[in-house]
DNA sequence: TCCCCAACTTAGCACCATTAGG
DNA sequence: CCTAATGGTGCTAAGTTGGGGA
């Protein structure tokens, strides 16, 4: 019997799916319970380290040294990264060398004292050769690999959660290697150790088949906690944080959570005016803390800044969000470029992505900022009477479920909806409609500061495209001339002329398509659209747009996104309003 | 009240498979 | 049909949030 997926999501919307077979009525669990039955095979472990072939040698101070297995494995991690800028950085090298020496035998440690005297050349060459060989595999060999991988996915990549077979998101244990933090990370280059089954906690239901640990091993623990969604977890040694094996985004559990997130954001829409009025009022408060909260909220709402938790100094790169802004991150301009009360932001945010923005603000915010900056110096918190807990506590009192990040979701989604409405033109062809969609998406990405490194081949590929446009233009001119000539001289059959005018038309269409593509690509040089599409934009806005504009959904959502947003695709009609 | 941690979402990058175009 | 470019996918780091304990 086919069991259909009818989630709480759908039922809340009185959605009735087309019935193929028996429809399972989901139970609604009491608060905090995530599942009643969970069965899986445990995580998949990376292969054990294989020692180097005899002809590949490591040299210290010009002399070949046969390293012990653990030391050799870590040496290879470094050798594999030698084309990367990381390995030239002082911090990276120092951290690596310190941790590498910990893996050495006493003898090795006494010999190998200086990283600069280490020659990983042969190890590096071997690695490059392996990469090359993998690239040059025949079609058949690649297919064999693909099938082997699929087998692993089938066995370890799926689980049964309640009545559904679900895909797992990350069922593979992270292989050992050198830690690659983002930006100026004080721990970059440290050894990320190999995870053993003895490090792994398994979570599943009591009445399921408990996963077998790999031969000769045992699990750290097997627990049956149905108030959490993870299937396995371990503690990572570099930062000491927990890592989890969790479900794929297309699972029912994740889908419902996602839907809930957007419903909270939609609820904010109904009370955002009142909340804005409230913080405008709070800007005048006698309490310094309240004023700071109001200014922070103004930034979070207007600029979609992140909450900004405090971070432990020296443990991570120096990045900030709203509440953790320091005085050096903003500059106040009474007037700038003809605008009054301009705040210039310049700081590193999540993933060390730079946030740079000059924003005119209302007078009262500007005056408060001046006040907050008085008698402070570089390194001092801008909001010294505020943190994220206080902010979120206040927000949840204004609306149940409201936190700082809801503003990002709300402002992203509402911006997309507004932009799509403004750019809407039914007369556009599909390419132009898609350009409009991307531009709306881009407005959101800019708001949320979702950046990317310009693709390495960007200039070249832009030039290539331009060359193609130019040659197509010439071709079009030629085709037009020929057609004109033929008409003038009344030569050639009418069939032929029809053919010629068709060719002109096709040429024009292709040219337009390429020009639109060039515009889109240029505008998108440093902007990442995917993050907002995946995490901030209520998919129902996009699904409804497609229906209204008569654009195929797969033009804007790939397979992964269509799977993730299956709930939205199912329930959304053309008249959906965020 | 503060602090810390568990649990979960959000993030950019590297690499790979697919596909458009020559 | 082959190659280069591109979009898709996997990976894992880096955030947010809420709750529990000192």
pLDDT of A116 above 80: yes
Q: Which bases of strand C have any atom within 7 Å of the beta carbon of a protein residue?
A: 5-19
Whether the predicted pLDDT of A15 surpasses 60: no
The residue whose CA lies nearest the C1' of nucleotide B5 is A241
pLDDT of residue A24: 43
Chain A window 474-503, residues with Cβ within 7 A of nucleic strand B? none
- Judge whether residue A194 contacts strand C, using its CB and a 7 Å cut-off: no
Instruction: Note whether A327 and A377 are within 8 A (CB).
Output: yes
Nearest to A481 by CA among A489, A468, A494: A489
User: Is pLDDT above 80 for A21?
Assistant: no
Residues A126 and A56 sit within 8 Å (Cβ to Cβ)? yes
Of residues A379, A393, A276, the one with CA closest to residue A325: A379
In CATH terms, the fold of domain A256-402 is Topoisomerase I; Chain A, domain 3 (3.90.15)
Q: Which nucleotide is nearest to A452 (CA to C1')?
A: B12
Is the whole-model pTM more than 0.85? yes
Rounded to whole angstroms, how far apart are CA atoms A37 and A28? 14
Three-state SS at A172: strand
Q: Give the lowest-confidence range in A104-113, A442-451, A513-522.
A: A513-522
When pLDDT is averaged across residues A374-391 and rounded to a whole number, the result is 95
Query: Where does A38-46+141-248 sit in CATH, by number?
Result: 2.170.11.10
d(CA A307, CA A77): 36
CATH topology of domain A412-571: Topoisomerase I; Chain A, domain 4 (1.10.132)
**Is it the case that residue A420 has pLDDT exceeding 50?**
yes
Higher-pLDDT residue of A51 and A521 is: A51
Task: Mention the CATH class of domain A58-136.
Answer: mainly alpha
Using the CB atom, is residue A318 less than 7 Å from strand C? no
For strands A339-348 and A354-360, give the pairing.
antiparallel
Cα gap A396→A32, rounded to integer Å: 19
- CB of A430 within 8 A of CB of A555? yes
Phi and psi, residue A573, nearest 5°: -100, 170
Residue A219's pLDDT band (cuts 50, 70, 90): very high
Order of all β-strands in the sheet with A339-348 = A330-336, A339-348, A354-360
Burial of A291 (0-12, 13-18, 19+ CB in 10 A): buried
A183 C-beta less than 7 Å away from strand C: yes
- For chain A, the straight-line distance linking the first and the last C-alpha, in angstroms and rounded, comes to 37
* pLDDT tens per residue, range A243-255: 999 999 999 999 9
DSSP state, residue A194: P
Say which of A262, A410, A437, A536 is annotated catalytic. Answer: A536
In the block, tokens 């072939």 appear at A53
- Give the pLDDT score at A23: 41
CB atoms within 10 A of CB A155: 11
pLDDT confidence band for A10 (50 / 70 / 90)? very low
pLDDT grade for A6, boundaries at 50, 70 and 90: very low
State the pLDDT at residue A277: 97
Label residue A22 by pLDDT band (50, 70, 90).
Answer: very low
Average pLDDT of span A255-266: 96
Question: Do the beta carbons of residue A249 and residue A256 sit within 8 Å?
Answer: no
Place of tokens 């409230």: A278
The full set of domain ranges for chain A reads: 1-30, 38-46+141-248, 58-136, 256-402, 412-571
The span from the CA of A465 to the CA of A476, in Å, is 16
Whole-number Å distance between alpha carbons of A329 and A343: 10
- State how far the Cα of A261 lies from the Cα of A303, in Å rounded to an integer: 20
Rounded distance between C-alpha atoms, residue A162 and residue A252, angstroms: 10
> For A225-229, what is the mean pLDDT?
95
- Strand C atom within 7 Å of A197 CB: no
pLDDT-based confidence at A514, cuts 50/70/90? confident
The 8-class DSSP code of residue A520 comes to H
Higher-confidence position of A437 and A3: A437
The answer for A147, left when phi > 0, alpha when psi is -120 to 50, beta otherwise, is alpha
Assess whether pLDDT exceeds 90 at residue A289. Answer: yes
Q: Which two tokens stand for residue A314?
A: 């020296």
Which helix (H) or strand (E) segment holds residue A495: the answer is helix A494-523
The answer, yes or no, to whether residue A20 has pLDDT greater than 60, is no
What digits encode the pLDDT tens for the residues A528-577? Answer: 999 999 999 999 999 999 999 999 999 999 999 999 999 999 899 999 99
The answer to whether residues A34 and A8 touch, using CB atoms and an 8 Å cutoff, is no
Q: Which helix (H) or strand (E) holds A153?
A: helix A139-156
* A254 contact to strand B (CB, 7 A limit): yes
Distance CA A437, CA A555 (A): 10
Q: Is A223 helix (H, G, I), strand (E, B) or coil?
A: strand
Q: How far apart are CA A157 and CA A164, in angstroms?
A: 14
Catalytic site residue A60? no
- The mean of the pLDDT values for chain A is 89
Q: Tens of pLDDT along A28-59?
A: 677 789 999 999 999 999 999 999 999 999 99
Q: Are strands A221-223 and A201-203 parallel, antiparallel or unpaired?
A: parallel
CA–CA distance, A16 with A6 (Å, rounded to integer): 8
pLDDT for position A489 = 72
pLDDT for the residue A455: 73
Report the 3 state secondary structure along A22-60: CECCCCCCCCCCCCCCEECCCCECCCCCCCCCCCCCEEE
């Amino acid at each position: 019997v086919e069991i259909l997926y009818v989630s709480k999501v759908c039922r809340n919307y009185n959605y009735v799916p087309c019935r193929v077979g028996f429809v399972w009525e989901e139970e609604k669990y009491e608060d905090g319970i995530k599942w009643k039955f969970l069965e899986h095979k445990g995580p998949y472990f990376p292969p054990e380290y294989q020692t180097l072939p005899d002809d590949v040698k490591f040299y210290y101070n010009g002399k070949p040294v046969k390293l012990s297995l653990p030391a050799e494995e870590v040496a290879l991690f470094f050798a594999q990264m030698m084309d990367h800028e990381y390995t030239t950085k002082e911090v990276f090298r120092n951290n690596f060398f310190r941790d590498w020496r910990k893996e050495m035998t006493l003898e090795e440690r006494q010999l190998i004292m200086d990283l600069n005297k280490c020659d990983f050349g042969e190890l590096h060459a071997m690695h490059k050769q392996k990469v090359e060989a993998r690239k040059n595999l025949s079609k058949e060999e690649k297919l064999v690999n693909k099938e082997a991988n699929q087998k692993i996915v089938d066995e370890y990549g799926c689980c049964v959660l309640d009545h559904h077979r679900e895909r797992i998101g990350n069922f593979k244990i992270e292989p050992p290697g050198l830690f690659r933090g983002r930006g100026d990370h004080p721990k970059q280059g440290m050894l990320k150790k190999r995870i053993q089954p003895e490090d792994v906690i398994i979570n599943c239901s009591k009445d399921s088949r408990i996963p077998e640990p790999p031969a000769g091993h045992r699990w750290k623990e097997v627990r049956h906690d149905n108030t959490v969604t993870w299937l396995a977890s371990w503690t990572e040694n570099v930062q000491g944080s927990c890592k989890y094996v969790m479900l794929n985004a297309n699972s029912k559990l994740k889908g419902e959570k996602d839907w809930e997130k957007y419903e909270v954001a939609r609820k904010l829409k109904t009370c955002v005016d009142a909340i804005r009025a409230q913080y405008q009022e709070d800007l005048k408060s006698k309490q310094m803390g309240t004023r700071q909260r109001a200014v922070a909220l103004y930034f979070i709402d207007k600029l979609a800044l992140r909450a900004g938790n405090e971070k432990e100094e020296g443990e991570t790169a120096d990045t900030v969000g709203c509440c953790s802004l320091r005085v050096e991150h903003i500059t106040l301009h009474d007037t700038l470029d003809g605008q009054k009360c301009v705040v210039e932001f310049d700081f590193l945010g999540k993933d060390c992505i730079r946030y740079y923005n000059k924003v005119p603000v209302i007078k009262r915010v500007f005056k408060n900022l001046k006040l907050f900056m008085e008698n402070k110096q570089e390194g001092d918190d801008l909001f010294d009477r505020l943190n994220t807990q206080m902010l979120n506590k206040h927000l949840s009192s204004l609306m149940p479920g409201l936190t700082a990040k809801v503003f990002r979701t709300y402002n992203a989604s509402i911006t997309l909806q507004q932009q799509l409405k403004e750019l809407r033109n039914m007369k556009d062809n599909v390419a132009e409609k898609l350009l409009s969609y991307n531009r709306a998406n881009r407005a959101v990405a800019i708001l949320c500061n979702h950046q990317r490194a310009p693709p390495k081949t960007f200039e070249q590929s832009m030039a290539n495209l331009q060359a193609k446009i130019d040659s197509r233009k010439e071709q079009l001119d030629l085709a037009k001339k020929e057609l004109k000539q033929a008409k003038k001289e009344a030569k050639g059959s009418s069939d032929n002329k029809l053919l010629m005018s068709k060719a002109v038309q096709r040429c024009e269409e292709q040219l337009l398509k390429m020009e639109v593509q060039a515009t889109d690509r240029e505008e998108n040089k440093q902007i990442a659209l995917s993050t907002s599409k995946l995490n901030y934009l209520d998919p129902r806005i996009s699904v409804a747009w497609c229906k209204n504009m008569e654009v195929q959904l797969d033009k804007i959502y790939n397979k992964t996104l269509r799977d993730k947003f299956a709930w939205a695709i199912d329930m959304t009609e053309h008249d959906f309003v965020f």
